[in-house]
Amino acid sequence: MDDVVRSAPVLAPGLPAVGVRASIDCADVYALPARLGTGAAFLPQAGWSDSSAEGERWLALGEIDSLVAPAGAGFAAALEIVSRARERLKVLASLAPEPGMVRYFGGLAFDPRHGANPGWPDGEAARFVLPRVLLRQARGRAEVTVLGTPEPEARRIVERIRRAAGDDAPPPSPIRVTETVHPEARERWTGAVLQALRAIESGAVRKVVLSRDIVLDADRPIDSWELLRLVHERDPQGLRFCLRLGGGSAFLGASPERLVAQRGSDIACDCLAGTIARGGTPQDEARNAAALLASEKDGREHRIVLEEILAALAPHVRAVQSPSQPRIMSLAEVLHLWSPIRAELRQGVGLGELIGALHPTPAVGGSPRLRAMDLIHELEQRPRGWYAGLAGWIGPDAADFAVAIRSGVVRGNRMTAFGGAGIVRGSDPHAEWDETARKAASFIHLFAERA
């Protein structure tokens, strides 16, 4: 293997001073989990893809280190996990031939103050894993990096991955699902929206984002990594993630919204609020886009989110750029009002501090933030878990986090998907129910066929 690159000596005591990197022939790294078989080094931990970065896909296997904040630990404890990961990477960066290949993958709950969602196998407030094996695919090339592993064992790991990558992988097949709707679900939703509107009318909050569960049962066990293949194959745009949970389950999503991407001192954020159906023809789409841009209700919702993101960023950044008017983001089922934000971090601002200022945005929580979150907990009557939380990765000098919407939990034959809608003055319970259905459908259609 003359293409193997050795890492510099590691500084962390107790870890081997060897890592290797090698190119492999692999059409789709997300097909590997089903073919690698058992072994701690090959246990899939995370998948991540970003269409804006050369269409790259990442697959993380095995585990060198993990950082966990338990359910209900609170915001400070969850954000401390983020800061600790960045600090550890200063030492662990020498585990790989290049520092950028050492990164933690994981997620953060929507509201770390509350316990676990009873439908989730794991309920941590935050969890990040440093993988032993990292695969990257971009521009038709794939490479594998084995971190912190003695060279003979690392070579064996690479050879096993090469053999698995050489096998022909059949295209993933859509799964057939049936939605189970509780008879009282719509009535409960209407009641929650009306209570939220009363809170808005009283001045207690300006906006509240309510969500509901969409329960889908498949005709066969669901392989979350095959599901990720399907999602990426059908629509490779945006941010795609899959995070392993306990009990053979996973949290998977296809988010159009980035909370924050950091590269050195440069950061990028999305403001995404205001939604309408896309329409079945180009003419319908153009007409609906014009209606969305002209909508007073959607424009108000968007302004609330944008104003609060900019206010949250202000103490931590300089040279902020955002468009004077929102743009249209076009997805498979819906159109969104979208304002991309760019800024430069001030000296000394840490990643945990930045995320704490932004998460959750009013696009998924509400305004004012804590009042809206308390109302959400009361009205939704279950913790959200990581839905509308964060999913992404942390590197030594870079990070990227998706707002974990258009997502669901996979376990056995069942996926629980989620859909949310922003409630502001003028919202209609029936229209907002339909919006949650459209948003969930924009994710579900990527992998499923309705039975």
CA 199-308-385 angle, 5° bins: 70
Residue 161 has what pLDDT?
A: 95
Average pLDDT over residues 86-92: 87
> Does residue 275 carry a pLDDT above 80?
yes
Q: What is the amino acid identity at position 15?
A: L
Residue 181 has what pLDDT?
A: 85
Q: Work out the pLDDT band at 120, boundaries 50, 70, 90.
A: confident
Residue 54: count of CB within 10 angstroms of its CB: 12
> Does residue 334 carry a pLDDT above 70?
yes
pLDDT tens-digit readout, 148-182: 888 889 899 999 999 999 877 788 888 899 998 88
Domain ranges for the chain: 5-166, 175-450
Spatial distance between the Cα atoms of 165 and 167, rounded to a whole number of angstroms: 6
> Does residue 226 carry a pLDDT above 50?
yes
Q: Work out the pLDDT band at 6, boundaries 50, 70, 90.
A: very low
Q: What is the CATH number of domain 175-450?
A: 3.60.120.10
Q: How many percent of the chain have pLDDT more than 90?
A: 74
Spatial distance between the Cα atoms of 445 and 189, rounded to a whole number of angstroms: 23
Residue 247 has what pLDDT?
A: 80
13 membership: H or E segment, kind and range? none
Do strands 175-180 and 448-450 pair parallel, antiparallel, or not at all (unpaired)? parallel
> Does residue 450 carry a pLDDT above 90?
no
392: left (phi over 0), alpha (psi -120 to 50) or beta: left
3-state DSSP of 356-408: HHHCCCCCCCEECHHHHHHHHHHHHCCCCCCCCCEEEEECCCEEEEEECCCEE
Spatial distance between the Cα atoms of 170 and 268, rounded to a whole number of angstroms: 37
Query: For residue 355, which phi and psi values (nearest 5 degrees)?
Result: -65, -40
Residue 119 has what pLDDT?
A: 75
Average pLDDT over residues 2-25: 56
Residue 90 has what pLDDT?
A: 83
Q: Work out the pLDDT band at 9, boundaries 50, 70, 90.
A: very low
> Does residue 98 carry a pLDDT above 90?
no
Closest of 45, 42, 48, 29 to residue 390, by C-alpha: 48
**Residue 450 CB partners (closer than 8 Å, separation 6+):** 176, 177, 178, 179
Catalytic positions, please?
207, 257
For helices 296-313 and 282-294, what crossing angle results, to 10°? 70
For helices 296-313 and 351-358, what crossing angle results, to 10°? 150
Residue 434 has what pLDDT?
A: 94
Residue 91 has what pLDDT?
A: 80
> Does residue 101 carry a pLDDT above 90?
no
pTM of this structure: 0.93
Q: What is the CA radius of gyration of the chain?
A: 22
23 membership: H or E segment, kind and range? strand 20-24
pLDDT tens-digit readout, 38-80: 889 999 999 999 987 677 899 999 999 999 999 999 999 999 9
CA pseudo-torsion sign 436, 377, 205, 108 = negative
How far apart, in Å, are the Cα atoms of 6 and each of 16, 20, 166, 173, 286? 12, 5, 24, 39, 54
Q: Work out the pLDDT band at 18, boundaries 50, 70, 90.
A: low
Across 119-123, 188-192, 239-243, least confident range:
119-123
Q: Work out the pLDDT band at 332, boundaries 50, 70, 90.
A: confident
**Residue 43 CB partners (closer than 8 Å, separation 6+):** 61, 62, 63, 244
Question: How long, in residues, is the chain?
Answer: 451
Residue 238 has what pLDDT?
A: 86
Closest of 130, 190, 177 to residue 393, by C-alpha: 130
Residue 15 has what pLDDT?
A: 57
E-strand ranges in 256-309 read: 258-263, 266-277
Spatial distance between the Cα atoms of 306 and 206, rounded to a whole number of angstroms: 13
Residue 338: count of CB within 10 angstroms of its CB: 19
Residue 51 has what pLDDT?
A: 80
Residue 16 has what pLDDT?
A: 52
Residue 167 has what pLDDT?
A: 72
Residue 4 has what pLDDT?
A: 38
pLDDT tens-digit readout, 412-426: 999 999 999 999 999
Residue 340 has what pLDDT?
A: 96
Average pLDDT over residues 259-284: 94
Q: What is the amino acid identity at position 325?
A: Q
Average pLDDT over residues 26-44: 91
Query: For residue 189, which phi and psi values (nearest 5 degrees)?
Result: -60, -45
Q: Work out the pLDDT band at 14, boundaries 50, 70, 90.
A: low
Share the mean pLDDT of the chain: 90
Q: Which two three-digit tokens encode residue 446?
A: 């990527």
> Does residue 331 carry a pLDDT above 60?
yes
- Asked if 239 and 405 touch (Cβ cutoff 8 Å), the reply is no
> Does residue 89 carry a pLDDT above 70?
yes
In sequence order, which ranges of 17-74 are alpha helices (DSSP H)?
33-36
Closest of 105, 102, 103, 136 to residue 28, by C-alpha: 136
Spatial distance between the Cα atoms of 256 and 405, rounded to a whole number of angstroms: 8
Residue 194 has what pLDDT?
A: 98
